[in-house]
A and B are shown apart, each in its own frame.
Chain A
Amino acid sequence: MSRRPLGRKAPLLGLALTCSLAGSAVAEEPAAPGTSAQSPALTHPTAHEYAPAQWLQRMNDALTTRNYDGTFTHWHGGRLEMLRIIHRVQNGVVSERLVSLDGSGREFIRTGQSLVCYLPDRRTVLVEQHTAHEPLVGLHFPAVNDQTASFYDIREIGHTRVNRRDTHIIEVAPKDEYRYGYRLWIDGNTSMPIKSQLCDAHGTVIEQVVFASLALAAHIPDSAFKPDVSTEGFQWLRNDAPQAAGPPPANSLPWNAMRLPPGFRLTVRSAQTLPGSANPVDHMVFTDGFASVSVFIEVQGVRAGQPSVPQSATVGSSSAFSTVVDGHKITAVGEVPPATVQFIATQVQAQGPVSAGTPTR
């Protein structure tokens, strides 16, 4: 017996659990004026003729522009946990709340330009405030395009019913080992992903999300975005909004990645102050159109006492790698295999002037 078959059984267990929940359903309320839920493009009743890449785009649109409130199971590494996600777009303001219903009780709440992360197990709250003119989410998503198709096979592999919804199964298979792939069960009516699997280059499932219930509400009250966590005695780490983000300081070293895995390109370069730190951190984002990797560069020694050797970590299926170059700590984080973040982090160097063609935000 090998470990790999066990790994494949676990998602099935998760699916069985979620399907057995009494409330497993996807409900949709009529759209209310002023909400994105009324978009006719997202509620096409006979939307079966879309190309696989179009399904992906519709799914991304649905996830970012619709109002929804759902519970789902998240499986990774043999652990199965239930979470709740609430998402609302109201008058152009995006609010989002993600809550761990088991275990840690952590919460992530985004309201407009404010990100708040409640970590009860650390008795800590992280607060990240962005400037009003800077959209937090939406403008910088990698776009699926012809170049993306060079590095992934994107195809529809079937139809099936999940939680009483007719879904299209879209597979995004990586062509090499620098990135992960997905299988997505996309609701034909709402374009919401009812189920998703993250797979390695061999097709082995390493992470799975299955919605047990999902309500597409026309209206979600403000009270839905209040935390359940009591923060009495917690320490709050925050940045200050006005200086939170912007172009890199003029006198800062122009950092660049000397080489990148195939298909990855620089799409965002900025400087931002992270909660708990007084100094700005250079932030670069590389993407292949489907996966993205952030590289953070900060002066080593600001946070004294931390080890200076290369370090790796994983957060679910995402990877992180830190190393030190010329007195600066370089950390790469992304939803890619560990070797990919390590490669990118170790290719980052201080160089001459940034070329004119380098994309910036």
Chain B
Amino acid sequence: MPLAASDVRYVEPPTMGLWEKLYLPAIFEGLGTTMRQMLKPAVTQQFPEQEPKLPAHFRGVHRLNRDEQGRVKCVACYLCSTACPAHCIDIVAAPSPWTDREKYPETFVIDELRCIYCGMCEEACPVDAIELTTLYDLTGLSRQEMLFDKEKLLSVFDQTTTAGTDPARTGRGRLGPASEKTADVRLPNPQ
């Protein structure tokens, strides 16, 4: 459809009066804003001494949850590695030594470098075995140390639950809503 002449609106720039032409009032206004900011308390977080308050749903380093007997909760169903958009989860399943499940992960490696911390593994997991904690400041000097294997992920669980930063979100010891024992899934702690 061609543009009609009546559709076009011409706009004139606003004319400046004497007040605007002086420019000085605008300068003092800007200086006043600066002065007011100087009198306000500083917003800087003193990071290494002062830890930031992160929301409880912040997605940081992963952990593998333990059940009440201290075993890994994971049932090696590969749902998390399938859901992972960055393909950073590598699981090797083996026949389980325990009677309550068929498989268990012999190795469970997450490449923390490639992970984009989207939380899809957490959503996909049917037994709430993998969770993301609020550990936010992970850094590494080499690629090898950033490959978190099963033991390290379990140690993250121990560390975060004992430190109290990330309490177990599901009823500890239960395999979760998708397993057989769904009779009384405890609600997560309201903290």
A and B found bound together: no
